[in-house]
A and B are shown apart, each in its own frame.
Chain A
Amino acid sequence: MPDSLVSPLHNYHTSQNAKFIDFAGWSMPFSYEGTIKEHNYVREDKGFFDVSHMGRLEIQYNDIAILQTLICSDIENLQVGKALYTIFTNNNGCAIDDVIFWKFQDKILLICNAANTLKIKDHLITYSISFNDVTNSTALIAIQGPNAIQIMKGLVDIPDSFSCLQNDQYTYARTGYTGEDGLEIMVSLDYVDELLDYLKSNNISPCGLGSRDTLRLEASLPLYGFELSDEITPVEAGLKWTITNKQPYLGSEVITEQLKNGPNKILKKFEIDTRAIARTGTKVSAGESGGVVTSGNFSPRLQKSIGFVMFENQPSTDLIVFDIRGKLVEGKILKKRFLN
Chain B
Amino acid sequence: MSEIKYLETHEWYSLTENKITIGISDYAQGELGDIVFVTLPEVGQEFSKGESMVEVEATKTVAEAYAPMDCVIVEINDRLESEPEVINTDPCGDGWMVKAEVVNLDDSGMLYQEYETFIS
Contact of B34 among A36, A276, A279 (CB under 8 A): A36
Q: Which residues of B contact A262 (CB under 8 A)?
A: none
A274 beta carbon closer than 8 Å to chain B? yes
* Given A297-B59, A298-B59: A275 and B33 interface contact (C-beta under 8 Å): no
Closest to B59 in A: A35
B37 beta carbon closer than 8 Å to chain A? yes
Query: Complex: how many Å from CA A181 to CA B55?
Result: 36
Q: Which residues of B contact A279 (CB under 8 A)?
A: 62
A30 beta carbon closer than 8 Å to chain B? yes
B7 beta carbon closer than 8 Å to chain A? no
Contact of B33 among A210, A274, A325 (CB under 8 A): A210
A277 beta carbon closer than 8 Å to chain B? yes
Query: Complex: how many Å from CA A275 to CA B37?
Result: 6
Q: Which residues of B contact A31 (CB under 8 A)?
A: 33
- State whether B36 touches A298 (Cβ < 8 A): yes
B23-39 toward A: CB 8 Å interface, digit per residue (1/0)? Answer: 00000000001101101
B95 beta carbon closer than 8 Å to chain A? no
CB distance from B106 to the nearest CB of A (A): 27
A25 beta carbon closer than 8 Å to chain B? no
- State whether A277 touches B33 (Cβ < 8 A): no
Residues 293-336 of A contacting B (Cβ, < 8 Å):
297-298, 305, 325
- State whether B60 touches A210 (Cβ < 8 A): yes
Q: Which residues of A contact B68 (CB under 8 A)?
A: none
Query: Complex: how many Å from CA A17 to CA B13?
Result: 29
- State whether B34 touches A277 (Cβ < 8 A): no
Q: Which residues of B contact A297 (CB under 8 A)?
A: 59
Contact of A298 among B39, B57, B88 (CB under 8 A): B57
B91 beta carbon closer than 8 Å to chain A? no
- State whether A35 touches B34 (Cβ < 8 A): yes
Closest to B64 in A: A325
Query: Complex: how many Å from CA A305 to CA B36?
Result: 10
Q: Which residues of B contact A298 (CB under 8 A)?
A: 36-37, 57, 59
A258-279 toward B: CB 8 Å interface, digit per residue (1/0)? Answer: 0000000000000000111101
Q: Which residues of A contact B34 (CB under 8 A)?
A: 34-37
CB distance from B65 to the nearest CB of A (A): 15
Closest to B81 in A: A275
Query: Complex: how many Å from CA A217 to CA B62?
Result: 18
B81-102 toward A: CB 8 Å interface, digit per residue (1/0)? Answer: 0001000100000000000000
A147 beta carbon closer than 8 Å to chain B? no
A214 beta carbon closer than 8 Å to chain B? yes
- State whether B37 touches A276 (Cβ < 8 A): yes
- State whether B60 touches A277 (Cβ < 8 A): no
Query: Complex: how many Å from CA A305 to CA B34?
Result: 14
- State whether B59 touches A275 (Cβ < 8 A): no
- State whether A36 touches B59 (Cβ < 8 A): yes
- State whether B62 touches A277 (Cβ < 8 A): yes
Residues 59-77 of B contacting A (Cβ, < 8 Å):
59-60, 62
Q: Which residues of B contact A30 (CB under 8 A)?
A: 33, 60
- State whether B37 touches A35 (Cβ < 8 A): no
Q: Which residues of A contact B33 (CB under 8 A)?
A: 19, 30-31, 34-35, 210
CB distance from B51 to the nearest CB of A (A): 15
Residues 175-234 of A contacting B (Cβ, < 8 Å):
210, 214
CB distance from B89 to the nearest CB of A (A): 11
Query: Complex: how many Å from CA A276 to CA B36?
Result: 9
Closest 3 CB pairs of A and B: A275-B37, A298-B36, A36-B34
Q: Which residues of A contact B (CB under 8 A)?
A: 19, 30-31, 34-37, 210, 214, 274-277, 279, 297-298, 305, 325
| 17 A–B pairs (Cβ distance < 8 Å), ordered by A | A30-B60, A31-B33, A34-B34, A35-B34, A35-B60, A210-B59, A275-B37, A275-B84, A276-B37, A276-B39, A276-B57, A277-B36, A277-B62, A297-B59, A298-B37, A325-B55, A325-B62
